[in-house]
Structure formats: C-alpha cells, structure tokens
C-alpha cells in the first residue's frame, strides 16, 4: 500500500495527467460511450479505457489517471504473490512479489501509460495456474475460473492475451507428455471447455478487428521496437537498468536451473513457469516485439520460487541425515533472507528511479492542459485540429481526450496500428515538416480541412521567429498564445 501511495504521489506531482498513453485510453473510452471523435475502426480491449473514464469521473483528470497507474503497477506483484501462495510455494512469495513490485520494468509502463500490459500481467499467472489445475480435475468450478481469468486478460491487453494463450498451449502439451493431464469423459470435457469458452466468446469481433489491423498493408513502419539478436541483451538490460546485477543473477539462475528444477518437481508452479518462458521466447522470436520481454519480470520471480522450493524440500527429504537437513535448513533461511533484502532494496531503488521514468514520459503541463480545455470550450464542435508530436510521442491522443475534437496528430508511425490513425498521422507529419510555419505548410493544412493548428512551444522544431512573422503578415492567424501552446488558424 505504501508503494502504491508513493507511485500515485509521483505520478500526480505535477498536478496534470501523467503518461503518454493515458490520453489514448480516455479517447477510446469516449468512443465506447458513443461520444468519441475517432473512427469506429479503432478498437482496443475495453477494460482500461472504461476504468480510465470511471477513475477520471470520480477523481478528476490528473488524480484519476495517476491512481489508475499506481494500482496497475501493483498488480503484477499481486499476481505473482497469489500464484505462489495458491501453488503451495508461499515461502518465497513475499520477497518475489517485492522484487516484481519495485522493478523498473514495472515502473516503465506505469510511466508511459501501459496500464493494460500491467493489469494483464497480474492476471496472467493466476490464469495459468487455474488452467493447470483444470487439466488435472476438469471440474466446472476450475473451468469457469479459467474462463473468467482468461477473459480478464483478453479484455485488458491483446499483447499479454497472446502471451497467455501461447503459455496455455505449452502447459497443456507438457501435461499431456508427462501424463499429469486427466483424460475426462466426453461429456465432462465438453462441459468444462464450454465454461472456458463462453466468457471469452464475446471478444471474438474485437480480436478479429485487431488481427486485421496488425495485417494492415498501410502499416509499413516496423513494430514498436523491432528486436535483433544484436539488440536483445541491451533491451533486457534496459528493463532493469536501475538494479542490474541482482537481476542478472536472478535471470541467469532462472534461465539455467529453472527448467531443470521445474521438470524434476513436476509441480503446478514448475509447469506454468516453463510454459510462460516458452511463450515469451516464442512470441519474441516470431514478432521481434520488445514488449513481450517485460513478462520476464514475473517469470523470473516465479522461477526464483522454484529455487527456494527446491532448497526447502531438501530439509524434509526422507533419508537425509539430520546434519545435512540442518545444513539445508540454514541454506533455506539464508536464501529467504537474501531474497527479502533484495526485494526491499529493489522497492527502494525502483521508487527513486520512478521519478526519472515519470519525467521521461511526461508530455502535459498545466499551461498546455489549460490551452486544450480552452479549445474544448471555444472551438466549433465540428472543428478539425492538427497537432505536432511532442518528445517523439503522439500528443494528439491527449488532444482528443481533452479537447474532444477530431485530430490529425504528428507521430512516428511505429507507434500507430490502425489505418485511420496512420492516415491522419501521415497528413500531419507532412504538414509539420520543418521549417514550420511557412505559407506552403499552412496552405496544405487548409486544403486538408484543418481548422486549428496546435503547436506546443516544447516541440523540438518550434520556431518563435517564424510564428511572429506569420502573425505580422496574416493578422488573426495566430489565435492563441501561451507559454506552452500556440494555436494557428489556417
């Protein structure tokens, strides 16, 4: 609870909505409620957009997004803790959860607004544990629990949904090979399968649209952070850059001995740990998408629990001499103490580093928000806006969320998925080619049907002299000026 409060305070420190993606979730939440400004072809899993609207409605724009981010950042650790407790691996549950809770790889998406990823990472290990149990019991209760948990993942994040589905397949194959899967009567198996499928069936149209978007031929830019073998290690190091050496040891130990111990134990925790690692490996190789690597954090924590469990089991092994049992008991206590110290250290280091992460992805200021609210109050409801990128990020998501107008926003195309937003960004990027503003660029904006052009003063190509020249040569064309925002009427 303390770290949730500290992260909330950090996110809310500037008094404006934090993150980049928070505007995206709010704008899509408006679309769900029927008062959005986007094309209906833009779709996302609905949980976070709905939660964003609810949080902002209850607490206001800045506090609502900040609280949602702080809560989302706690869920991966909670998922690891519950999974370990429910799989009878509770001895290392607390230190493993602390390692996840404070990890900079959790703070990073909380800072940029990757709330769907964080929430789904929290639900994922519980889903895998429930599925593993279902394969051994085929009970209706386990089937419904698995279906609801999987629906929770899929209605939150398509990235983690794909990872969870892959992990489920791997766990199922493992259990089929090692003989731990119960072969149910046909009627029992059909009933259980139905209870798994029914909670997720309604998401089918959403995922058809998402798959179409990923195959969109207009999407010529590479994936968000396309990995190569040469950049893989650097990307993993980036995830834990505030606490490198402990995570190098944890990841190395998990990678070297985790699968061996898992196969030896044949335990539920062992199966889901191997299944999750296999899913991360397969998804990363197939897509070269770096965001799948963020799941290494809960995986390493679960694999660490396998180590702790193996050490503890040696203290209770039949036939082991008392002196040897005593030695293993000491080793078990020492390993727990080391993990607990590392977990506490990671929480402290992670919170300190979170200040930097928050600042890195902060695009809004009070003055900029006031400017967008002014446009929301004064511009025609049919007005079409254009806005530059800011810090290499699509500021237009926040413009849509606050100004509530159709927006063409400059942005690197690698951040965009859907054909309509790629089309709008392509037009905006062409308009905002420096030097800007020039008569030619203003004319292009007018021909594109743009009514207002928004230029943040922190834009890397902002040209104050060119703005002044435009105001002198075309009186009235610069319709709004503040410390953070200039608005041009083409």
Give the β-pairing of 478-481 and 485-488: antiparallel
From the list 392, 378, 382, 466, the residue with the least C-alpha distance to 429 is 392
pLDDT in tens, 111-158: 999 999 999 999 999 999 999 999 999 999 999 999 999 999 999 999
Please state, in angstroms and rounded to a whole number, the distance separating the CA atoms of residues 338 and 342. Answer: 6
Q: Name which of 58-62, 318-322, 376-380 the model is least confident about.
A: 318-322
The answer to whether the Cα torsion of 97, 102, 105, 109 is positive or negative is: positive
Please state, in angstroms and rounded to a whole number, the distance separating the CA atoms of residues 153 and 419. Answer: 25
H/E segment holding residue 239: helix 229-239
H/E segment holding residue 487: strand 485-488
What band does 251 get if pLDDT is binned at 50, 70 and 90?
A: confident
Taking each helix axis from N to C end, the angle separating 140-154 and 158-178, rounded to the nearest 10 degrees, works out to 150
Please state, in angstroms and rounded to a whole number, the distance separating the CA atoms of residues 112 and 362. Answer: 8
Please state, in angstroms and rounded to a whole number, the distance separating the CA atoms of residues 375 and 452. Answer: 9
Taking each helix axis from N to C end, the angle separating 396-403 and 22-32, rounded to the nearest 10 degrees, works out to 40
Taking each helix axis from N to C end, the angle separating 61-86 and 93-102, rounded to the nearest 10 degrees, works out to 150
pLDDT in tens, 71-107: 999 999 999 999 998 987 767 889 999 999 999 999 9
pTM over 0.85: yes
Task: Quote the distance between the C-alpha of residue 125 and its chain's center.
Answer: 16
Which are the contacts of 1, defined by CB distance < 8 A and separation ≥ 6? none
From the list 97, 76, 180, 77, the residue with the least C-alpha distance to 132 is 180
Supply 44's token pair: 């996302």
Q: Name which of 11-15, 235-239, 355-359 the model is least confident about.
A: 235-239
The predicted model gives 1-27 an average pLDDT of 93
Please state, in angstroms and rounded to a whole number, the distance separating the CA atoms of residues 377 and 92. Answer: 54
Please state, in angstroms and rounded to a whole number, the distance separating the CA atoms of residues 475 and 125. Answer: 61
Burial classification of residue 393, based on how many CB atoms lie within 10 Å of its CB (0-12 exposed, 13-18 middle, 19 or more buried): buried
Q: Contact, 266 vs 321, CB < 8 A?
A: no
Query: Which pLDDT score, from 0 to 100, does residue 320 have?
Result: 58
User: Given a cut of 80, is residue 380 above it in pLDDT?
Assistant: yes
The predicted model gives 272-287 an average pLDDT of 91
The radius of gyration of the chain from alpha carbons, rounded to an integer in Å, stands at 25
Which are the contacts of 129, defined by CB distance < 8 A and separation ≥ 6? 83, 86, 87, 268, 269, 272
Q: Name which of 46-60, 145-159, 379-393, 409-423 the model is least confident about.
A: 409-423
From the list 280, 252, 236, 297, the residue with the least C-alpha distance to 98 is 297
The predicted model gives 464-476 an average pLDDT of 90
Quote the percentage of the chain above a pLDDT of 90.
64
Query: Is the peptide bond prior to 260 cis by the omega test (within 30 degrees of 0)?
Result: no
Please state, in angstroms and rounded to a whole number, the distance separating the CA atoms of residues 402 and 115. Answer: 19
- DSSP assignment of 210-230, as one string? HHHHHT-TT--SPPTTB--HH
Domain boundaries, the chain: 2-360, 366-488
Query: Which pLDDT score, from 0 to 100, does residue 165 have?
Result: 96
Quote the percentage of the chain above a pLDDT of 70.
92
pLDDT in tens, 212-242: 887 766 555 444 556 777 788 888 888 888 8
User: Given a cut of 90, is residue 466 above it in pLDDT?
Assistant: yes
Query: Which pLDDT score, from 0 to 100, does residue 312 have?
Result: 66
Supply 170's token pair: 């791997």
3-state secondary structure of 16: coil
User: Given a cut of 60, is residue 356 above it in pLDDT?
Assistant: yes
Please state, in angstroms and rounded to a whole number, the distance separating the CA atoms of residues 490 and 478. Answer: 9
Please state, in angstroms and rounded to a whole number, the distance separating the CA atoms of residues 480 and 401. Answer: 20
Q: Contact, 125 vs 79, CB < 8 A?
A: yes
**Range list of H helices, 288-318:** 296-314
Residue 38 gets which letter from DSSP? S
Please state, in angstroms and rounded to a whole number, the distance separating the CA atoms of residues 430 and 410. Answer: 8
User: Given a cut of 60, is residue 1 above it in pLDDT?
Assistant: yes
Q: Contact, 143 vs 137, CB < 8 A?
A: no
What is the pLDDT of the chain when averaged over all its residues? 89
Q: Identify the bridge partners of residue 453 per DSSP, sorted by sequence position.
A: 386, 488
Query: Which pLDDT score, from 0 to 100, does residue 337 have?
Result: 87
Q: Name which of 191-205, 300-314, 336-350, 393-407 the model is least confident about.
A: 300-314
CA distances from 326 to 3, 41, 311, 314, 316 (A): 37, 64, 12, 10, 10
Q: Identify the bridge partners of residue 478 per DSSP, sorted by sequence position.
A: 488
Supply 415's token pair: 């951040």
Q: Name which of 11-15, 129-133, 210-214, 482-486 the model is least confident about.
A: 210-214
């Amino acid at each position: 609870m303390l770290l949730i409060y500290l992260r909330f305070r950090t996110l809310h420190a500037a008094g404006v909505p934090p993150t980049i993606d928070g505007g995206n979730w709010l704008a899509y939440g408006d679309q769900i409620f029927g008062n959005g400004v986007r094309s209906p072809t833009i779709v996302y899993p609905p949980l976070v957009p709905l939660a964003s609207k609810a949080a902002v409605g209850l607490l206001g724009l800045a506090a609502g997004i900040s609280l949602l981010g702080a809560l989302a950042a706690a869920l991966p650790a909670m998922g690891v803790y519950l999974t370990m407790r429910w799989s009878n691996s509770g001895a290392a549950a607390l230190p493993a959860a602390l390692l996840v809770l404070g990890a900079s790889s959790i703070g990073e998406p909380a800072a940029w607004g990757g709330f769907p990823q964080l929430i789904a990472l929290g639900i994922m290990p519980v889903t895998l544990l429930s599925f593993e149990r279902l394969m051994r019991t085929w009970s209706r209760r386990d089937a419904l629990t698995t279906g609801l948990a999987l629906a929770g993942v899929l209605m939150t994040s398509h990235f983690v949904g794909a990872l969870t589905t892959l992990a489920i397949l791997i766990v199922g194959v493992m259990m089929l090979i090692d003989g731990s899967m119960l072969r149910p009567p046909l009627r029992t198996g059909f009933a259980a399968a139905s209870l798994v499928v029914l909670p997720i069936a309604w998401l089918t149209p959403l995922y058809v649209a998402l798959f179409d978007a990923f195959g969109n031929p207009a999407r010529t830019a590479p994936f968000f952070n396309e990995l190569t073998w040469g950049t893989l290690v650097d990307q993993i190091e980036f995830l834990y850059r505030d606490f490198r050496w402990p995570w190098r040891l944890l990841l190395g130990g998990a990678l070297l001995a985790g699968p061996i111990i898992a196969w030896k134990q044949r335990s539920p925790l062992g199966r889901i740990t191997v299944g999750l690692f296999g899913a991360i490996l397969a998804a990363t190789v197939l897509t070269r998408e770096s965001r799948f690597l963020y799941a290494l954090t809960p995986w390493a924590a679960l694999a660490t629990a396998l180590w702790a469990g193996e050490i503890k089991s040696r203290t209770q092994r039949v036939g082991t001499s008392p002196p040897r049992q005593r030695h293993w008991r000491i080793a078990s206590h020492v390993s727990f103490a080391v993990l607990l110290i590392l977990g506490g250290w990671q929480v402290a280091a992670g919170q300190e580093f979170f200040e930097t992460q928050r600042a890195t992805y902060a695009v809004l200021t009070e003055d900029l928000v006031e400017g967008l609210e002014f446009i929301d109050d004064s511009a025609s409801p049919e007005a079409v806006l254009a806005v530059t990128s800011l810090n290499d990020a699509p500021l237009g998501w926040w413009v849509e969320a606050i100004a509530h107008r159709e927006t063409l926003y400059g942005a690197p195309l690698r951040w965009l998925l859907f054909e309509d937003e790629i089309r709008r960004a392509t037009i905006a990027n062409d308009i905002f080619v420096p030097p800007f503003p020039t008569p030619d660029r203003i004319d292009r904006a007018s021909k594109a049907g743009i009514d207002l052009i928004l230029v943040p003063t922190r834009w890397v190509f902002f040209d104050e002299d060119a703005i002044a020249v435009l105001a002198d040569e075309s009186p009235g064309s610069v319709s709004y000026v503040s410390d953070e925002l200039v608005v041009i009427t083409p």
